[in-house]
Amino acid sequence: MSSINVKVGDLALNSPLILASGTCNFGHELSSYYDLSILGGLSSKGLTLLPRLGNEGCRVAETECGMLNSVGLQNPGVESFIKNDLDYMNTLGTKVIINVAGHSIEDYVGMVSRLDQFSSKIDALEINLSCPNVRAGCMSIGSERDQVSEVVSAMRKLTKLPLWIKLTPNVTDIKSIAYAAQEAGADAIVLINTLLGMVIDIKTRRPVLHNNTGGYSGPGIKPVAIRMVAECASVLSIPVIGCGGVMTYEDVIEFMIAGASAVQIGTGSLVHPTLPVKITEDLIDYVKKNDIDLSSLTGTLRMW
């Protein structure tokens, strides 16, 4: 009793906390702040087949309860990652989750077949069907049920690695898309990526972001994420991983009650790099005081 261990499908994690893709790079920087082995896992910066320079101009706009970013998937490309960062991630003592992004089904298939060659160094592939900052990009695939089904089925044939599908919240019916991913062979669903937003500079009457729009993250999006986790968990048989605005241990518990088996921390790390250390300590206190296993909270929500 009193453990914070959790499981996502067959994958056992020593903590429900996973660093969210795009907010921890490949772990080099944050490992100078704390021992990352306290985490359940680390999800890499979103990778593409070829290197991407990302968007030009201003990439961040602050809001009252969070921020918008339009980085545009700047990344060194999968080959550079395999050469320079994959082995490093394996030294961190936490689960290695590789975030995979693309523009087309062919991109995803190419990435998954390449990464599957390194399956002994990878614990899960997180398929990013949700980046809002790339034109004609992955969010458009993640918004169409049939396309989600097609891309997940195609990847499923190529790997035995757990496939976690990270979905965009910028859709009308998240349940049907999550369900389509499950039926096509997904092992878990990650909810949610950023919400598409815009911030306007009232002096210039132009968007702050040079990409005009960006992905909204931070505490402001948490209620949306909680709602989507609860909705999807009620119809899925595969695990859900919660993500969106986690700043405290209570947020983690809220996500788990809603139905999450594990919880990602993203923007919180940008504000306080050692936030996961504090949340881990608080979760350990919580399970001790309540004499429960944290995993027993998952899906205990009682709707009115």
Partner 1 sequence: MTVSELNKEYRAVLVEKKQLNEDTFYLSFRCPDIAQKAIPGQFVNISCSNFLKRPFGVASTDVANGLFYVGVKTIGKGTNSIASLNEGDMVDVLGPLGNGFNFEGFDSFILVAGGTGVFPINFASEYLQAKNVKHTVVQGFRCKSQIVMNRPEYVLSTDNGDVGIHGNCCDCLDTLDLSLYKNCAVCCVGPLPMMKAVGAWATKNNLKCFVSMEQRMACGIGICLVCVCKLNAEAEGQEFKHVRCCKEGPVFPYEEVIF
Q: Minimum Å distance from CB 120 to partner 1? A: 26
- Among 57-65, 92-100, 187-195, 285-293, the segment contacting partner 1 (CB under 8 A): 57-65
Instruction: Return the amino acid letter for 286.
Output: Y
Count other C-beta atoms under 10 Å from residue 1's C-beta: 9
Q: Minimum Å distance from CB 209 to partner 1? A: 10
Note whether 274 binds partner 1 by CB under 8 A: yes
Comparing CB distances to partner 1, the nearer of 1 and 53 is 53
Cα atoms in the 13 Å half-sphere on the side-chain side of 218: 19
User: Does 131 qualify as catalytic in the annotation?
Assistant: yes
Q: ∠ CA(30), CA(257), CA(166), 5° rounding?
A: 50
Restricting to residues 174-233, which ones interact with partner 1 according to CB under 8 A?
Answer: 218
Restricting to residues 64-83, which ones interact with partner 1 according to CB under 8 A?
Answer: 64-67, 69, 71, 74
CB of 279 within 8 A of CB of 252? yes
Q: Minimum Å distance from CB 199 to partner 1? A: 11
Query: Phi and psi at residue 143, in whole multiples of 5°?
Result: -95, -10
Among residues 131, 138, 232, 243, which one is catalytic? 131
Q: Minimum Å distance from CB 32 to partner 1? A: 5
Q: Measure Cα distances from 166 to 48, 87, 139, 244 in Å.
A: 15, 24, 10, 12
* List 9, 29, 79, 157, residue binding partner 1 (CB under 8 A): 29
Comparing CB distances to partner 1, the nearer of 101 and 297 is 101
Nearest to 216 by CA among 230, 231, 199, 201: 199
* List 12, 50, 62, 250, residue binding partner 1 (CB under 8 A): 62
* Gap between the Cα atoms of 102 and 108, Å rounded: 6
- Among 2-10, 56-64, 77-85, 149-157, the segment contacting partner 1 (CB under 8 A): 56-64
Note whether 285 binds partner 1 by CB under 8 A: no
Comparing CB distances to partner 1, the nearer of 179 and 216 is 216
Nearest to 99 by CA among 176, 18, 8, 13: 18
Where is 147: in which H helix or E strand?
A: helix 145-156
The contacts of residue 212 (CB under 8 Å, 6+ apart) are 198
Q: Minimum Å distance from CB 297 to partner 1? A: 28
CB of 166 within 8 A of CB of 129? yes
Comparing CB distances to partner 1, the nearer of 185 and 273 is 273
Q: What is the 3-state secondary structure (H, E, C) of 167-231?
A: ECCCCCCHHHHHHHHHHCCCCEEEECCCEEECCEECCCCEECCCCCCEEEECHHHHHHHHHHHHH
* List 22, 40, 137, 242, residue binding partner 1 (CB under 8 A): 22
Q: Minimum Å distance from CB 167 to partner 1? A: 22
* List 9, 50, 56, 288, residue binding partner 1 (CB under 8 A): 56
Restricting to residues 254-273, which ones interact with partner 1 according to CB under 8 A?
Answer: 269-273
Comparing CB distances to partner 1, the nearer of 190 and 208 is 208
Interface size with partner 1, residues (CB under 8 A): 35
Residues marked active site are found at: 131
Positions that interact with partner 1 (CB under 8 A):
22-25, 28-34, 45, 53-54, 56, 58-67, 69, 71, 74, 218, 269-274
